[in-house]
Structure 1
Amino acid sequence: MTSQITTQLPLPPHFHPSKVGEIWRVPYQQRAAEAEAWTKQHNIKPAANDKTRICLLLIDVQNTFCIPGFELFVGGKSGLGAVEDNQRLCEFIYRNLGIITTIISTLDTHTATQIFHPIFWINSNGEHPTPAATTITPKDIDQGIWQVNPAVAHSITNSDYELLKKHAYHYLKQLSQNGKYPLIIWPYHSMLGGIGHALVPSIEEAIFFHNLARQTQTKFEIKGENPLTENYSILRPEVLLDFAQNPLAQKNINLIQQLLKFDAVIIAGQAKSHCVAWTIDDLLTEIQQIDPTLTQKVYLLEDCTSPVVVPGVVDYTEQADAAFSRFSTAGMHIIKSSATIAALF
């Protein structure tokens, strides 16, 4: 790793941990000039020179999940989970600026009329399900508790309501047969074009600073826009085939191949119990089909991710911890953001 910095860097003056849970505008041109000066001051080389290529994969570090008061803020056990995670994550990026080759950031991306949003479903009174407190199973359809809202067929299946019902029922059955979470009705979140969809400013700023300092393009991966399937994982949707066994959505083959070409992949983001766990699980599945020893190149930042916890409603801490334990057993490394990354390779 002769072309890379082997010690941790200091935090740049512009970083303020107290602002991580706030919304503000990143001053791009100012940060670009500061990044150039920072590069000269600390002799940071372009990422193209890296002998050991390290990817930081950030899962859904967006306002909708990471800012208190937003739609699906991930509070974790502490109640401030995502804010605390992102304070550590920003510090991790800045301290390892000269070591991280590429940052890939995923963006959960939705519109209103999707299978996991309230508008998609109604009961016999025409009422929509309560978000975050409602799951829907095939049994609920059979018993008439919930049905697809006929009005949404206009937008999704060109007004073919029977076709849409077939799609939905097949989807629910596939979730139960494949060991996935049942369909959860979520609050409207990560809405395309809205402020909730944007990256948390502190993370966006750190990513931008890295982009300029290392002269390497940040990569963004969009997921979740298909109206007929959830897409917790960036690597594949929850269900791939429709009721007629035709492709419903596709695996993200290009990203899988990109990740496996790196010497190391470090993963953080939100939420530990859902999008993070499902992404890692899908990556593990791909690795096991190719070469199980490749798990050794995957590192999980356990203190930069939190589970979904809605006090008095749901708590996915146990499921999240069980998933990370399974990933560790498979050969992946569980590390903390304070670790000296250069010493790991």
Structure 2
Amino acid sequence: MTTGAELPIPDFFDPAKVAQVWRVPYQERAAQARQWAQQYQIPPASEDQQRTILLLIDVQNTFCLPEFELFVQGAVADNQRLCRFIYTHLAQISEIIVTLDTHTAAQIFHSLFWVDAHGEPPPPLTTITVEDVEKGRWQPNPHLLTSLGMSDPESLQAYARYYVTRLAASGKFPLTIWPYHSMLGGIGHALVSAVEEACFFHTVARQQPARIELKGSHPLTENYSVLRPEVSHDPQGRPLVSVNTALIEHLLAGDRLIIAGQAKSHCVAWTVADLLAEIQRRDPRLAQRVYLLEDCMSPVRVAGVVDFSEAADATFAEFAAAGMHRITTTTAPWNL
């Protein structure tokens, strides 16, 4: 087959199931993938002359299915297009990398971490500012001292003040208390079943395992970006979470990098911003290798509460101005 030719979509793909949780029949799909590669003369990815990486950011049930905790409006349709894209461009995608937002209950952005003067936790979507901490409206939960590895309430209080101050000073989003989500070991943490199936099919057909990158498990910082945390060091200058240098090197080593996932305004935007900062430090021309698959991502929108659509569009305009390409599943350029 020719490099730019689109493949058909396998008969087993059902767009209606993209909004559901189910078990992927691995053995059956593996046999079909091997047969598919033979039928359409799809070579192993190791033989690709141009290496195209597809980076999928947090395509997890917790963000992508309507009944889950942080559903991003538009994610179901995004993932229907994403699955079709993977199947039709199976021969051009050399490798798929997936990131998984990975959390436990006692983290700085979850309710258990904070209490008010009466010992009550903040409700989801509460914003905690520097003023809130300094005036005692919200204080870290002293019962978490042991689990956080701290020795006294004063140290924990000092860290809380330091953390929100660092966010404000760096121009980051203020600390938001999110609903419990992406809980390690839970169903919400898993990839959307239809996307998992497409990634597995690609793995077998191209003989190239998907790469899994976990992020967000440190209790004392956030990790919107897979490449670096929101706050990287504690008040004493000790590292909390290291910059993901290995992943940065891997992403920049490819000939093309296509990025999709959720949410456009948060984890996708922050990851791309961190990648762009590294690109501009090394060689601004590298930005031309990056393709933002915009019909496979959506911004956070909660009716009557928040809408990050305009902010996301403005951010992506900045990415394009720096040399990155804004594309859709129908305009992906394969014959560069």
- TM-score, scaled relative to structure 1: 0.96
> For residues 65 and 162 of structure 1, do their structure 2 counterparts lie closer, same or farther at Cα, with a shift above 3 Å needed?
same
Matched, 1:47 2:40: no
**Aligned residue for 1:28?**
26
CA contact (8 A) 1:8 1:95 kept: yes
1:237 partner amino acid: P
CA contact (8 A) 1:236 1:251 kept: yes
Aligned length: 336
Within the candidate set 114, 120, 129, 1:121 is matched to: 114
Within the candidate set 175, 179, 182, 1:190 is matched to: 182
Q: Distance in 1 between matches of 2:136 and 2:312?
A: 32
Q: Distance in 1 between matches of 2:87 and 2:22?
A: 19
Q: Which stretches in structure 2 are left out of the alignment for 5+ residues? A: none
Within the candidate set 185, 199, 202, 2:191 is matched to: 199
Matched, 1:276 2:274: no
Q: Provide the secondary structure at the position in 2 that maps to 1:107.
A: strand
Q: What is the deviation of 1:263?
A: 0.3
Matched, 1:230 2:228: no
1:136 partner amino acid: I
Q: Distance in 2 between matches of 1:40 and 1:127?
A: 61
Q: Provide the secondary structure at the position in 1 that maps to 2:214.
A: strand
Q: Distance in 2 between matches of 1:195 and 1:290?
A: 39
2:209 partner amino acid: Q
> For residues 178 and 204 of structure 1, do their structure 2 counterparts lie closer, same or farther at Cα, with a shift above 3 Å needed?
same
Coordinate RMSD, CA, aligned: 1.1
Q: What is the deviation of 1:110?
A: 0.3
Q: Provide the secondary structure at the position in 2 that maps to 1:299.
A: strand
**Aligned residue for 2:136?**
144
Which structure 2 residues correspond to residues 58-207 of structure 1 after superposition, within 5 A? Answer: 58-75=56-73, 81-132=74-125, 134-207=126-199
Matched, 1:250 2:272: no
Q: Distance in 2 between matches of 1:28 and 1:286?
A: 38
Q: What is the deviation of 1:340?
A: 4.4
Q: What is the deviation of 1:169?
A: 1.2
Runs of 4+ in 1 over 4 A off after TM superposition: none
Deviations 1:87-109 (A, max 9, x none): 00001100100000000000000
CA contact (8 A) 1:157 1:164 kept: no
CA contact (8 A) 2:85 2:329 kept: yes
CA contact (8 A) 2:64 2:76 kept: yes
CA contact (8 A) 1:61 1:199 kept: yes
1:249 partner amino acid: V
Q: Distance in 1 between matches of 2:238 and 2:278?
A: 22
- TM-score, scaled relative to structure 2: 0.98
1:112 partner amino acid: A
2:292 partner amino acid: L
Q: Which stretches in structure 1 are left out of the alignment for 5+ residues? A: 76-80
**Aligned residue for 1:78?**
none
Q: What is the deviation of 1:157?
A: 2.4
CA contact (8 A) 1:4 1:98 kept: no
Q: Distance in 2 between matches of 1:161 and 1:234?
A: 31
Q: Distance in 2 between matches of 1:234 and 1:314?
A: 23
> For residues 144 and 298 of structure 1, do their structure 2 counterparts lie closer, same or farther at Cα, with a shift above 3 Å needed?
same
Within the candidate set 16, 19, 22, 2:17 is matched to: 19
